[in-house]
Amino acid sequence: MTEREQQPASMTQFRRLRVPKGVVIFLHDPKAKVASFILLVVIFFAAFGPTIAPFGENEQNLRASLEAPSWTHLLGTDQLGRDILTRAMYGSRVSVSVGLIVVAIAAGVALPIGLSSGYFGGWIDSILMRFVDTWISIPPIILILAIVAIAGTSLGNVMLAIGLASFPVFSRLLRALTLSLRAQDFVMAARSLGASDQRILVRHILPNTVQPLIVQGTLLVGVAVLAEAALSFLGFGAQAPQATWGNMIAEGFPVIRHSLWPTILPGVLIMVFVLAANFMGDRLRDVLDPRLRGSL
């Protein structure tokens, strides 16, 4: 038996995943290429929007209100004469932040729950999973509204609420991964060497859950961006005049009979961004974790 064959399945698997072959497959996939390009463009605008934007976020020119796209205003203007391209760039900052922060909150809440549930099992698992089952039964938007009603209306609270509403998916994933990892030989070996539960969880189990978590996190980005846009549209997220894609649709709606541009463009941006995040998640899942292919 070679040394490679003697290693635990998960270790060889994860080692194999680290080889550039997976990256090569990913980079040769047309959907992955398009999704990566779109996400990079949005992240670029989110990072450098204020520097490269042709106008100010709330720079008004009432004499140029509701203009169609032109060389001066590449994506037209809204009812206050604000440049839609500029506001879309600023809006991308909010969407990217929402995507990242919501994933961080959801993963942060889910980590202790999923790891403890899967590792310790027994009554801890029963209690934690019943809690997760209950939490998952509450429709997310209703739960988010309840949290916003308690915590107050702001973009930060909306991100917190979406994160809290989304953590059960991570918890279940982490529990399943931990359940399978704790039975592996390398965990047994660590335990027989006297490693504490905390050390086993943090040093041996947690690192092996990172890749599936990244996949799930990427898929959550799209959900989070859609939820934030809906809540901004309802008036619970970022407050006007801050530019978010949801706010832009809400502001464009009353003047839609005069100009479609302020409403159509932010919607297209949301859709394209969500599609790119979903495609990226699907492709990453195929490359990073073939075991889960098509099953989630």
Partner 1 sequence: MSKFILARLIQVVPVLILVSILTFAGLELVPGDPVLAVIGPAQEGTQLDAADIERIKEQFGLHGSLPQRYVRYVEQVVLHFDFGTSLQSQEPVTKVIADRLPVSLWLNGLALGLSVVLGLTLGLLAGVRPGTRGDLGVTFLAVIGVAAPSFWLAIGLIILFSVELGWLPTSGWVDPLTDPWEAAKHLAMPVFVLSLGGVAVIARQTRSSVLEIRRQDYIVTARAKGLTAGAVLFRHVLKNSMLPVVTIMGLQIAALFGGSVILERLFALPGLGRLAFDATLEHDFKILQGIVFLVTIAVVTANLVTDIVYGLLDPRIRYQ
Q: Which of 184, 232, 235 is nearest to 205 (CA)?
A: 184
CA angle 29, 16, 288 (to 5 degrees): 40
Query: How far apart (Å, rounded) are the C-alpha atoms in residues 178 and 125?
Result: 12
Member of 100, 135, 191, 210 binding partner 1 (CB under 8 A): 135
Q: How far is the CB of 94 from partner 1 (least distance, A)?
A: 14
Amino acid at 149: A
Does position 170 bind partner 1 by CB under 8 A?
A: no
Query: How far apart (Å, rounded) are the C-alpha atoms in residues 224 and 132?
Result: 19
DSSP H or E segment with residue 231: helix 210-234
Q: Which of 94, 92, 96, 76 is nearest to 84 (CA)?
A: 76
Member of 75, 88, 105, 229 binding partner 1 (CB under 8 A): 229
Member of 174, 221, 249, 280 binding partner 1 (CB under 8 A): 249
Q: Which of 136, 139, 153, 132 is nearest to 228 (CA)?
A: 153
Does position 149 bind partner 1 by CB under 8 A?
A: yes
Does position 219 bind partner 1 by CB under 8 A?
A: no
Member of 115, 200, 226, 243 binding partner 1 (CB under 8 A): 226
Q: How far is the CB of 256 from partner 1 (least distance, A)?
A: 6
Member of 99, 222, 237, 262 binding partner 1 (CB under 8 A): 222
How many residues belong to the site for partner 1 (CB under 8 A)? 40
When the beta carbons of 96 and 270 are compared against partner 1, the nearer one is: 270
Rama region for 98: left / alpha / beta (φ>0; ψ in -120 to 50; rest):
alpha
Member of 2, 150, 194, 198 binding partner 1 (CB under 8 A): 150
Amino acid at 142: I
Does position 124 bind partner 1 by CB under 8 A?
A: no
Tallying the residues shown for the chain, one arrives at 296
Joined tokens for residue 4: 């490679």
When the beta carbons of 30 and 194 are compared against partner 1, the nearer one is: 30
Q: Which range of residues in 7-15, 53-61, 95-103, 252-260 is near partner 1 by CB under 8 A?
A: 252-260
Q: How far is the CB of 168 from partner 1 (least distance, A)?
A: 12
Member of 41, 64, 124, 145 binding partner 1 (CB under 8 A): 145
Residue with tokens 């005069």: 258
Does position 271 bind partner 1 by CB under 8 A?
A: yes
Name every residue whose Cβ is closer than 8 Å to that of residue 163 and which is 6 or more positions away in sequence. Answer: 101, 102, 103, 104, 105, 106, 108, 109, 224
Residues that bind partner 1 (CB under 8 A): 130-131, 133-135, 137-143, 145-146, 148-151, 222, 226, 229-230, 233-236, 246, 249, 253, 256-257, 260, 263, 267, 270-271, 274-275, 278, 294
